[in-house]
Structure 1
Amino acid sequence: MELTGNTLTLKSVNEVLYNNEFVSVSSESMERVQKSHEAVKKIVEEKRVVYGITTGFGKFSDVYIDSENVEELQLNLIHSHACGVGEPFPEVVSRAMLLLRANALVKGFSGVRPVVINRLLDLLNAHIHPVIPQQGSLGASGDLAPLSHLALTLMGEGEVYYKGERTNTWTALEKEGILPITLQAKEGLALINGTQAMTAMGVVAFLEAEKLAKQSELIASVTIEALQGIIDAFDEDVHVARGYYQQVDVARRIREYLADSQLTTRQGEIRVQDAYSLRCIPQVHGASWQALDYVREKLEIEMNAATDNPLIFNDGEKVISGGNFHGQPIALAMDFMKIAIAELANISERRIERLVNPQLNDLPGFLSPEPGLQSGAMIMQYAAASLVSENKTLAHPASVDSIPSSANQEDHVSMGTIAARHAYQILQNTRRVLAIEMICAMQGAEYRGVEKMAHATKGFYDKGRKIVPSIIKDRIFSKDIEAMSAWLKESDESSLVDTRQGSKVQ
C-alpha cells in the first residue's frame, strides 16, 4: 500500500494492522515532503521567528532559539514530553500510531525530512512497535506524551515490542539493521503535535466494535429462538415506516438469520407482543449503527488530516500557527461510540435476564440442570449486570471536561484520548456481556430443540458449542465467559455464519 496522505480508509488500515500489508510512500508525496523540509531549512538559515522551529514551545513560544541549538531543542522536546504513565496501549494501537503519523507527515505540511517518514515505515514493516503508556494526554496540543514515546524509538531510545517480547529499542533496531536518526529542526514537534494516539485507539476500537455489532444481532437471533420470539416485529414494512436505513438493515439481517426457524412464533400464537429487549432490537441496534456510521466518517477524515503545528504552505512563504492538533472532533466521536456500544450491552443484559428468570419464561430456572441444587446461569447474569453498570460510568463523556495547561496558554483541551481509551474498555465489557448472552441463549435453544433452529443460527450454535459445552453441571463459568469472549474477538461474521445455505445476510 502506498501512502499519499489523503487515501487511507478503515479497510486499508485493517489490512495493515491485521494482515501485515507492506506500506510505502508514493514518489510524488515524497517530493512534497522534501519541498516542505527545504522550507524549514530556509527559515532556520534566515533566522525567521517561527513557532517550534526557532522558538520554544507552549508558553515558551516567545523564546528565540539560535540555529546551532535547533537539534538540541528537538531532543529536549521529546525527552521532556515523554512522560506518559500507566499500562501501555495494546500493541496493535502502537502499530496504528506508526501508520497514521507517517500518513499525516506525508501530506507535506510538516517540514520533516523524508528519512523521518521512512524510519516510521521501517518500524511498521519490521513489526517493531513502540511501548507507549496509555495515560498522560490531554488531547490538545494533540497527543504530546504518547507520541513522544513513539518518537523516542526513532532515536533508538525507549522500549518496543519485537517478535513477541518487550525489549529496548536499540536491540530491535540493531537486529533489523535500522539506524536511529537525530531529529532536526521542527521534526520532534512534527512527530508529537497530532491526534494519532486517540485516532489509533479509536480506529482499533471501531474495527472491533463494527464486528461486535454484527455478532450482537446473530447472538440476539439465538435468544429469539430460545424465547420463541415473535418474528412479526421484524417485518420490513414496520421498519421502512420509521425511515432509518440502519434499523431496516438490522431487521432484514435478523429475518434472514431466522428465515427457516421452527422456534420463532407469530403474534397471538403464544403471546401478542414480546418485551422491548426482543421486539425493539432493530430500533436499538439500528441506532447504535447510526452512531458507528458517524464515527466511521470522522475517523476516516482524521486519518488523512494534517494535525501538527505550525503548518507550512507555499514552500514556506506561508507558515501558520493554528490548532489542527485539537482533538475535539475525535473526542466527540469517541464519546458517541461509547454510548452506542454500551447500549448493545444494556439491551443484551435485559435479554439475559429474560433467558434466566423463571418468572419471565418457561425455561428451567436460571437454565439450571437441577434448579435449587445447581445455580446454573444465575451469577452469569450478575456478572453481566456488573459490566453494564461499569459501562455506564465509563460512558460519561470525556469531552465535556477541560483543564488548562502550559500556564493557561493551552486553556481548552479535548480529553479525546481518554474518550478513546474508555470506548475500548466499554467494548471489552460489552463483548463479555454478549458472550454471556450467547452461553445462555445456546442453553435455552438446546432446551427447545436445536434441530428446530434456523440453518444460520444452528451453524452458529454448533460452532459455539465447540467453545462452551452444554451446562450439565455447575462449573467455573468464568472460564466459559472468557473463552466465548475470546472466540468472538477472533472471529468475523463470515466465519460464524454459513452464507452459502439458508442465509443471504450481507
Structure 2
Amino acid sequence: MTELQAQTHTVVFDGRRLDIESLCALAQGRAQAMLGADAEFRGRIARGADFLDRLLREDGVVYGVTTGYGDSCTVSIPPALVAELPHHLYAYHGCGAGRFLTPQETRAVLAARLASLCQGVSGVSVALLEQLAQLLAHDVLPLIPAEGSVGASGDLTPLSYVAAVLCGEREVWFQGQRRGAAEVLAQLGLTPLRLRPKEGLAIMNGTAVMTGLACLAWQRAQTLSRLAARLTACNVVAAAGNAHHFDERLFELKPHAGQQRVAAWLRADLCSDRPARNEQRLQDRYSLRCAPHVIGVLEDALPFLRGLIENELNSANDNPLIDAQQERVLHGGHFYGGHIAFAMDALKTAVANVADLLDRQLALLVDARFNHGLPANLSAATGERAAINHGLKALQISVSAWTAEALKLTLPASVFSRSTECHNQDKVSMGTIAARDALRVLELTEQVAAAMLIAARQGFTLRERIDPALRLSPALAAFRAELEDRIALVTEDRALDADLQRLLAALREGAWSLPA
C-alpha cells in the first residue's frame, strides 16, 4: 500500500488552527490536503491580492514588490520590471546543499507554508494556494536541499525550491522517481505559475522548513518519552529492581505533572502494589530509580513546546504583511524563527538525556556485577557454548556510540547567530539548523531505544530462568509477547542490524503498544 492509498481523512486549509497531529498525518501520507472552498475564506485571500494590485497602480512603495530584497531595499524597481522580481528571488536563492529533505519532511514543509499563507495576510492569490495544495494532493515533492538557511528572513534558500517547482522549474520526487518539475506538472494537467508581485517573497520569507521539521520532531519525541518509560519498566523487571521507587505518595511530594505521569506509567507496568521482595536493593542505581525524573523533564516540556510550535505553524510569518481589511502594509520581522530555535534546542537536550538514561540502564543490565544474577552481556547461551557466545556485548558498544553522538549535538544552535546579507540580517535564529539537529538526536535516540527492545527481549527470558514464578502486569505481559513476536532470542551470536532496522521501522510507524 502506498502512502497516498493509506490516507484516511482530509485536512482542510482555510486559515483555521492546525495542530501538530494533522500536519504529521499529512507528512506521513495518512491524510489528504485540500484548500478550503468557503467563499469568505477565498474572498479574504483575494482581497489581499487586490489591495496589493491597487497599491501598485497608485505607485505605492512596498518592500520586495517595488524594491529590491534585504539590504537592497533602497533600490527602486522600475515598474516594467516589477513582474520579474519574484522569479529573480527564487533564482538567486537556488544555492542549497547537503542531503535532500525526505518525502515526509518535504510534505511537512509544504503543509506548514500553506497553513501560514492561508492566514490571508500575505498578499497572494488563490491560484498560488491552489497550486501549493495540488503539490500535496498529488504528492509532487520538491527536492529541497536541507542546508543553507540561517532561520531569519525565513527559510529563504530551501523554500526557493518550493517556489521554483510551483513555476515548473527544478526537480521533484514523484511516484518514486526524480523528475523535472515541468514534466510532472504537465502530466498532472497543472500549469506552471507566473508569480505575481510579492508571491515569491510570500512563499520564501517564512519559517516553514524549521516549523515542519519541528512538528515531526515533536511527535517523535512524544513517542520516545512513552517508550522510554515502558523500557524502564522492562529493565526494572530484568534487573530485579525495586518497583516501589515510583510510589504515588512519593511523587505527590514533587509535583511536576510530567514526572508524576511517568511514575504512574511505571507503577501500572510494575504492579508496585505488591510487597517488595527481600532480595531487592533498598535503593536502585539512579538510571532506574530516577527514570521518572529524567523522562519527566521531556514529558513536562512537550506541552510547552507544542504551544510554541503550533503558534508558529498557525502564524503569518512572512514580510511585509498585507492587511487588506485595514488597508495597511505591515513591515516587520515575523520571519524570525527564534521560538522554533528555542523549542528544538530544548527538545534535543531533553531527548538526549533520555538516550543517556537508557544507555546507563543497558550498561547495568549487561554487567554481571550489577544485574542481580543475569548472565554477562545478557547472553542466552548455556552449557559449554556459553564460552563462545557474546550476547549483546557489541550492541552495548553501539548504544554508547549513538548516545555520545546525541549528547554531542546538544550544543544549542540558536546561540550561533551570524551577521549576514551586508549586516541587514545581523541577528538570525538558526532555527532550521536547530530543527535538523533535533531530528538527528531523535534518530540516534530511536536507535538506542531499538537496541533496548532487544535487551528487554533478553531480559525477560533470562530473569524468568532465575525466577520461574516471575509475574508481569497485563500491560508488560502484552509488551513481552509483542517483543517475542518481533525478535528472536539471541542465543547464538548473530548480526543484529536487520533486527534493529525492523524495530526502528515499527517504532517510527507507531506500531508499539505504549502508555497513553
- The answer to whether 1:427 aligns with 2:439 is no
> 1:58: how far off?
0.7
> 1:363: how far off?
0.6
> 1:472: how far off?
1.0
> 1:10: how far off?
1.3
- The answer to whether 1:486 aligns with 2:505 is yes
- Picking from 262, 274, 278, the partner of 2:288 is 278
- Deviation per CA, 1:257-292, whole angstroms, max 9, x where unpaired? 22389xx87275422111111111111111111222
- Picking from 465, 468, 471, the partner of 2:484 is 465
Q: 1:29 and 1:102 mapped to 2: Cα distance?
A: 14
Q: 1:23 and 1:282 mapped to 2: Cα distance?
A: 41
Amino acid at match of 1:252: A
Which residue is equivalent to 2:3?
none
- The answer to whether 1:306 aligns with 2:278 is no
- Conserved 8 A contact 1:5-1:305: no
3-state SS of paired residue (1:23): strand
> 1:135: how far off?
0.3
- Picking from 29, 52, 57, the partner of 2:69 is 57
> 1:3: how far off?
2.1
Q: Please, what is the CA RMSD of the aligned residues? A: 1.7
Q: 1:208 and 1:260 mapped to 2: Cα distance?
A: 29
3-state SS of paired residue (1:409): coil
Which residue is equivalent to 2:32?
21
Gaps of 5+ in 1: 498-504
- Picking from 378, 391, 394, the partner of 1:367 is 378
> 1:24: how far off?
2.0
Q: 2:285 and 2:477 mapped to 1: Cα distance?
A: 24
Relative to structure 2, which stretch is displaced further, 4-13 or 388-397? 4-13
Which residue is equivalent to 2:7?
none
Relative to structure 2, which stretch is displaced further, 302-311 or 474-483? 474-483
- Conserved 8 A contact 1:40-1:53: no
3-state SS of paired residue (1:209): helix
TM-score (norm 2): 0.92
- Picking from 234, 240, 261, the partner of 1:249 is 261
- Deviation per CA, 1:369-395, whole angstroms, max 9, x where unpaired? 255422211111111111111111211
3-state SS of paired residue (2:343): helix
Q: 2:258 and 2:182 mapped to 1: Cα distance?
A: 49
- Deviation per CA, 1:323-353, whole angstroms, max 9, x where unpaired? 0000111101100000011111010000000
- Conserved 8 A contact 2:241-2:281: no
Amino acid at match of 2:437: H
Which residue is equivalent to 1:229?
241
Q: 1:44 and 1:92 mapped to 2: Cα distance?
A: 39
> 1:455: how far off?
2.2
Which residue is equivalent to 1:4?
14
- Conserved 8 A contact 1:234-1:255: yes
- The answer to whether 1:140 aligns with 2:148 is no
Which residue is equivalent to 1:501?
none
Q: 1:270 and 1:253 mapped to 2: Cα distance?
A: 21
- Deviation per CA, 1:113-160, whole angstroms, max 9, x where unpaired? 110011100111111111111000000111000110111110011111
3-state SS of paired residue (2:120): coil
Relative to structure 2, which stretch is displaced further, 61-70 or 443-452? 443-452
3-state SS of paired residue (2:253): helix
Q: 1:67 and 1:272 mapped to 2: Cα distance?
A: 80
3-state SS of paired residue (2:491): coil
Which residue is equivalent to 1:85?
97
- Deviation per CA, 1:147-193, whole angstroms, max 9, x where unpaired? 10111110011111212222221222122211111001000001000
- Which runs of structure 2 are paired with 1:179-258 in the superposition (5 Å)? 179-258=191-270
Question: Aligned residues, how many?
Answer: 495
3-state SS of paired residue (1:160): strand
Which residue is equivalent to 2:6?
none
- The answer to whether 1:37 aligns with 2:49 is yes
- Deviation per CA, 1:405-438, whole angstroms, max 9, x where unpaired? 1111110111110000010000010011111112
Which residue is equivalent to 1:348?
358
- Picking from 61, 74, 97, the partner of 2:86 is 74
- Conserved 8 A contact 1:267-1:273: no
Q: 2:474 and 2:213 mapped to 1: Cα distance?
A: 37
Amino acid at match of 1:478: D
3-state SS of paired residue (2:388): coil
- Conserved 8 A contact 2:457-2:487: no
Amino acid at match of 2:480: Y
3-state SS of paired residue (1:178): coil
3-state SS of paired residue (1:266): coil
3-state SS of paired residue (2:153): coil
Q: 1:127 and 1:378 mapped to 2: Cα distance?
A: 43
> 1:453: how far off?
2.9
- The answer to whether 1:445 aligns with 2:460 is yes
- Conserved 8 A contact 2:167-2:193: yes
Q: 2:34 and 2:229 mapped to 1: Cα distance?
A: 35
Q: Indicate how the Cα distance of structure 1 residues 293 and 349 shifts in structure 2: closer, same or farther if over 3 A, else same.
A: same
Q: 2:477 and 2:175 mapped to 1: Cα distance?
A: 39
- The answer to whether 1:397 aligns with 2:408 is no
- Which runs of structure 2 are paired with 1:122-141 in the superposition (5 Å)? 122-141=134-153
> 1:458: how far off?
2.2
- The answer to whether 1:325 aligns with 2:335 is yes
Amino acid at match of 2:92: S
Q: Identity, % of aligned pairs?
A: 34
Which residue is equivalent to 2:400?
385
> 1:239: how far off?
0.9
Amino acid at match of 2:59: K
Relative to structure 2, which stretch is displaced further, 419-428 or 464-473? 464-473
- Picking from 168, 173, 180, the partner of 1:156 is 168
- Conserved 8 A contact 1:202-1:299: yes
Q: 1:267 and 1:279 mapped to 2: Cα distance?
A: 16
Q: 2:322 and 2:117 mapped to 1: Cα distance?
A: 11
- Conserved 8 A contact 1:355-1:366: yes
Amino acid at match of 2:238: A
Q: 1:413 and 1:271 mapped to 2: Cα distance?
A: 51
- Conserved 8 A contact 1:468-1:483: no
- Conserved 8 A contact 1:83-1:145: yes
- Conserved 8 A contact 1:151-1:192: yes
Amino acid at match of 2:357: I
3-state SS of paired residue (1:452): coil
> 1:95: how far off?
0.7
